Structure 1
Amino acid sequence: MPIEILALAATGALLLTLTLIQGTRNVLVLGLPTAAGNQHDIAPWNGANDRLNRAIRNLIEAIAIFAPIALTVQVLNLGNDTSALGAEIFLIARVVHALVYIAGIPWVRTLAWFAGVAGIVMVASALIV
């Protein structure tokens, strides 16, 4: 399997994992009836709980950018060493980003975000022929 597609699948697995953690947290903290409801009348999350929610939203945004680029590179069979390395950098950066975002480590989070963007650019460079 091409590394660009493997990185995309692994990023999806990361999103699924974080979402399962979020859902489990909701049930444990709010109780099943509230967690299963619309959650309109709950207090805003704070601390690590809020950062988890924001890390998930940020990851969704990153996947929305990375996925079409990685898929296009593969459909057009343009993958190369740079795009493969970029996909690896993207995946590692997104794992680090999620962990340090939830932990509340701001500067490392920002560096991981920039590394993820650099990985996307590296994958996209395969499209510039």
Structure 2
Amino acid sequence: MAIELKFLAWAVVLGIAQLLLAATLATGRRGLKWNASARDATPASLEGVPGRADRAFRNLLETFPFFAAAVLGVVAAGRTGHGTALGVQLYLWARLLYVPLYLAGIPYLRSAVWAVSMLGLLMVLWPLLR
């Protein structure tokens, strides 16, 4: 199996882990009754670590579809190589590092790590644009 697909699978695992973390922290803040409800009312905003966990997860959701499409595209087109292998690794490891940085509220380093993940995504996409 191509390394790009393996890292795509691990990115899915990261997304599920972030979803579970954000949901658990939101339930801890809003309560089990809220979690079990139909959630018709506007919930109280999440602040602190629960809010940062939710925003970090939503940030992953903003880039993940592009990453998945690029990975599937280069694999289907047979355009994988050293650059795409490095790109998927940069994306996943940066996204993994992004979570604790965001949870800790570390501003500039978090943004730099996000930029590394975007560089990785672009490295995967590039062979499809040539």
Q: Same fold (TM over 0.5)?
A: yes
Larger CA deviation: 18-27 vs 85-94 = 18-27
> What residue in structure 1 maps to residue 36 of structure 2?
36
AA at the equivalent of 2:108:
W
CA distance in 2, matches of 1:39, 1:53: 19
| 1:76 to 1:61, Cα distance in 2 relative to 1, 3 A | same
AA at the equivalent of 1:21:
L
CA distance in 1, matches of 2:57, 2:76: 28
> What residue in structure 1 maps to residue 91 of structure 2?
90
Structural mapping, 1:51-62, within 5 Å: 51-62=52-63
- Percent identical among aligned pairs is 32
Structural mapping, 1:1-129, within 5 Å: 1-37=1-37, 38=39, 40-129=41-130
List alignment gaps of at least 5 residues for structure 2: none
Query: How far did residue 41 of structure 1 move?
Result: 4.3
Deviations 1:58-89 (A, max 9, x none): 00111011110110000111100001001100
TM-score (normalizing by structure 1): 0.92
